[in-house]
Amino acid sequence: MGSITRGLSNNITTGGVILPAGITNTSVSAVTSFANASAGTLILLSTQTASNSATISFTSGLDSTYDAYEFHFIDIQPRTDAVNFTFNFSTDSGSNYNVTKTTTSFYAQHDEADTTTALSYDTVRDLAQSTSFQLLNSSDAIGNGADESLAGSLTLFNPSSTTYVKHFISNCNFYYYGNYSINSYVAGYGNTTSAVNAIQFKMSSGNFDGTIKLYGVKKS
């Protein structure tokens, strides 16, 4: 019996429970899927890293395998100061990113000096039957200082449906270039009954750095 198998067997209780010591990077590194994962478990599908990139596009992975998909944004930093992080859908595998959307947006903000706070609907960032790229940071814009960035998530529901519109919800926090923490909420729907099979992220101007991870949300 190999050392990995012995190590695992020595950490299994009589009730069949694997003790924490039995789970290591070596023992789980070859696992590619968890067929018996509980509903709601996030299954990592792909990771893309921007390095002075104009766009990041996911042209595979959005299909009928999962009812919902989550994109996680990790330290998205623009190369240009005071710009916005945006996205758009595609129904033709990325040939065009121009899905019609109706959306809504609000934000909460607080500055480092503790002098300004706000909770407000953001009419500048919502869309009404528009094919434009949707801003994910409501109000103002992201700074490009050495320690400034955006982090958050976007959930897309049932993109493969050919019956319903494509709902999405996003929550991001970002470092406003004027030294504010701004928590941004954006939601809406892609007003199409065609399957959405690609998505693109970009800044309103210039390139950016950061990591975007795509997860599938396991079905019930």
pLDDT in tens, 31-56: 555 555 666 799 999 999 999 999 99
Total domain count for the chain?
2
Rounded CA-CA distance 208/203 in Å is 7
Nearest to 170 by CA among 150, 195, 192: 150
Rounded CA-CA distance 195/199 in Å is 12
Contact 17, 9 (CB under 8 A): no
Shared domain check, 27 and 45? no
Residue 159, in any domain of the structure: yes
Query: How many C-alpha atoms does 94 have within 13 Å on its Cβ side?
Result: 12
Contact 47, 59 (CB under 8 A): no
Q: What is the pLDDT of residue 40?
A: 78
Residue 96, in any domain of the structure: yes
Shared domain check, 45 and 26? no
Q: Which residues pair with 83 in a beta bridge?
A: 142
Residue 74, in any domain of the structure: yes
Residue 204, in any domain of the structure: yes
Shared domain check, 46 and 124? yes
Average pLDDT over residues 200-208: 97
Shared domain check, 111 and 14? no
Shared domain check, 87 and 7? no
Average pLDDT over residues 125-148: 93
Shared domain check, 156 and 64? yes
Give the ranges where the chain is alpha helix by DSSP (H). Answer: 3-9, 25-28
Residue 169, in any domain of the structure: yes
Shared domain check, 116 and 23? no
Shared domain check, 66 and 22? no
Residue 36, in any domain of the structure: no
Contact 187, 169 (CB under 8 A): yes
pLDDT confidence tier of residue 150, bands split at 50, 70 and 90: very high
Shared domain check, 193 and 126? yes
Contact 27, 2 (CB under 8 A): no
Q: What is the pLDDT of residue 5?
A: 55
Shared domain check, 112 and 24? no
Residue 186, in any domain of the structure: yes
Shared domain check, 69 and 20? no
Q: Where in the sequence is the domain holding 17, given as residue range(s)?
A: 1-31
Average pLDDT over residues 71-96: 97
Average pLDDT over residues 131-142: 90
Residue 72 sits in a domain whose CATH number is 2.60.120
Percent of the residues in the chain that have a pLDDT greater than 90, as a whole number: 78
- Ordered DSSP codes for 48-65: EEEEEESEEEE-SS-STT
Shared domain check, 144 and 85? yes
Rounded CA-CA distance 189/166 in Å is 5
Instruction: Tell whether the model's pLDDT for residue 211 goes beyond 70.
Output: yes
Encoded tokens for 49: 């890293």
> Strand (E) positions, the chain?
42-53, 55-58, 68-78, 85-90, 101-111, 117-121, 134-135, 150-157, 166-176, 180-190, 198-203, 208-217
Rounded CA-CA distance 3/171 in Å is 45
Rounded CA-CA distance 146/61 in Å is 33
